[in-house]
A and B are shown apart, each in its own frame.
Chain A
Amino acid sequence: MSKELILMLHPTFGVLAIIASVWVFVEALNASDANIVRLRNASVLAAILMWSAYIVGGYWYVVFYGGDKTLIKAGPWPFAHSFFMETKEHVFLMLLLLATYLPIAAYGEVVKKSATRNLVLWTSALVVLLGLAMEGAGAFISMGAKVALLANQI
Chain B
Amino acid sequence: MTTHQAGAADTVSAKVTGYGISYAVTSILSALLVVLKESNEGVHGLMVAITGHHWVTHGLLDVIVFVALGAVLSRMGGGIRMTGNALIATVVGATVISGAIIAGYFI
Contacts and interface: CB of A to CB of B under 8 A. Distances in A.
B43 to A, nearest CB: 14
A20 B34 CA distance: 29
Interface stretch (A27-35, A68-76, A117-125, A140-148): A117-125
A118 B15 CA distance: 16
A108 B95 contact: no
A21 B58 CA distance: 25
B59 A96 contact: yes
Interface of chain B, helix or strand or loop or mixed? helix
A119 B16 contact: yes
Interface in B53-107: 53, 55-56, 58-59, 62-63, 66, 70, 83-85, 87-88, 91-92, 95, 98-99, 102-103, 106-107
A58 B56 CA distance: 8
Nearest to B28: A94
A116 interface: yes
Given A90-B102, A97-B26, A109-B12, A123 B56 contact: no
Given A93-B30, A122-B91, A108 B12 contact: yes
A130 interface: yes
Interface residues of A, number: 32
Nearest to B102: A90
A106 to B, nearest CB: 9
Nearest to A89: B55
Nearest to A109: B13
B55 A115 contact: no
A98 interface: yes
A119 B102 contact: no
